[in-house]
Amino acid sequence: MSAGAALIIRLSSLGDVVLAGHLPSLLRVAEPGRRVLFATKERFGALLRNHPDVDRFYLLSDGSGDPAAPAPLAVTGSPGDFRVPLRREGVSDVFDLQQNLRSSRVAAGLDAARRVPFDKHGIRRRLLVHARWLRPKPLPPLLRRYRALAGLPDDAPLRPWLRDALTPSETDRAARRLGGDGAEEFIVIAAGARWATKRWPVRHVAALAARVSEEFGLAYRIAVSPDEADLGAAIAEALPPADRERVLRLGFRDAAAVAARARAVVSNDSAFLHLGPALGVPAVGLFGSTVPGFGFASGEPRDAVAEIELACRPCDVHGKRRCPRGHHDCLERLEPALVVERLRPLLRRMDRREAEAPAR
């Protein structure tokens, strides 16, 4: 791999950008000191702010930026606005992870740069949905494929880049939200998802919260996004009155700052699931209408998945607003007891690591 700057292009969506956030760190491991640039939509600039292995961002204007939010070191504009500054960066390798017309326009002026091959495997995912009788092979975890892009082995360690990117003010806000003296150990349950067929039922969320205390002696916090007020209210109603303040409506970075203090994350197949590797926290992914074979489960040794086998799974590549068969059995029948079983070895492994860690 040449010594010039690397340009990573991942324009959307939230979960994909979080996963792509590992590639800059992997490139730096493969070639220490290499300059890394990252092009994405303006709305994700705040998510990646302070990334420890990105030298400059190129943000496509979409009118979503918050003028009051701290801005990353970035060039903001249209693909045409990027051509001159990108030429000056000395880009030698382009990693186009988006692979659409707009992402190709971002790199249009870099004729001398090498386009590093990357197959999104969109057709293969659709075969897993619509042509299961052909027995298409599941996709390897995307994080393993990013290691290969960087020229690293499958088991190369991941840097918890988002933990390292959190600011003191974000970590302080998280401490205030959690209250107490900071000694309480807890699990974060991420209850939201954009698509209804990816959301674990409210009663299961509440039941898992109770089981976490009974089985592991841990507290819990339940995270939903700011635009999931109805879901947050429904979950709060299912909890004991004294625990209803444990439901937190948080933006993604603030949710990350809370999850960074957790023993583990339990999440639907949503962007929140990818916080686990990005923070260095064990994560259990709940898969219903989608499957780990799409490649978006982390596949890391410290993580796990919880799912049940059904002939109708997967029913869509992304998720749906309602179950096509009207029963939503993929998540209705995914009992909290199974999730507890997936959590148990992850927590034991963490306890072992902490016991073996040298005293500071």
CB 306 within 8 A of CB 286: yes
Residue 152 clears pLDDT 70, i.e. is over it? yes
pLDDT value of residue 69: 62
Q: Each residue of 14-70: pLDDT tens digit?
A: 999 999 999 999 999 999 999 999 999 999 999 999 999 999 999 999 877 666 565
- For tokens 């009155």, the residue is 241
- 3-class SS string, 206-223: HHHHHHHHHHHCCEEEEE
pLDDT at 307 over 90: yes
Determine contact, residues 164/52, Cβ cutoff 8 Å.
Answer: yes
Q: What's at 38, amino acid-wise?
A: F
Instruction: Residue 277: count other Cβ atoms within 10 Å of its Cβ.
Output: 26
Q: Which CATH superfamily is domain 5-118 in?
A: Glycogen Phosphorylase B; (3.40.50.2000)
Query: Are 5-118 and 179-354 in the same CATH fold?
Result: yes
Least Cα distance to 280 among 266, 255, 294, 300 occurs for 300
Q: Are strands 304-306 and 264-268 parallel, antiparallel or unpaired?
A: unpaired
Dihedral in degrees, nearest 10, Cα atoms 312, 313, 316, 318? 150
State both tokens at 354. Answer: 């902490």
pLDDT band (50, 70, 90) for residue 1 = very low
Residue type, 272: F
Q: Given the DSSP bridges, would you call strands 36-41 and 5-9 parallel, antiparallel or unpaired? A: parallel
Residue 296: pLDDT over 90: yes
Domain ranges of the chain: 5-118, 179-354
For position 169, what pLDDT does the model report? Answer: 96
Angle between helices 202-216 and 336-356 (to 10 degrees): 40
Mean pLDDT of the chain: 93
**Of 352 and 11, the one with more pLDDT:** 11
- What order of strands is seen across the sheet that includes strand 304-306? 247-249, 219-224, 186-190, 264-268, 283-286, 304-306
271, 14 Cβ separation under 8 angstroms: yes
Peptide bond into 13 cis (omega under 30): yes
Q: Which residue has the higher pLDDT, 283 or 357?
A: 283
Look at residues 46, 40, 51, 37 and name the one whose alpha carbon lies nearest to residue 66: 46
For residue 255 the two structure tokens come to: 């949710």
Is the pTM higher than 0.85? The answer reads yes
Say how many Å lie between the first and final Cα of the chain, rounded: 38
Q: Which amino acid is at 18?
A: V
Q: What is the CATH T-level fold of the domain 179-354, as seen in this structure?
A: Rossmann fold (3.40.50)
CA gap 219, 198 in Å, rounded? 25
Q: What is the pLDDT of residue 72?
A: 66
Q: With beta carbons less than 8 A apart as the criterion, state whether 261 and 187 touch.
A: no
The amino acid at residue 353 is R
Other beta carbons within 10 angstroms of residue 214's beta carbon come to 9
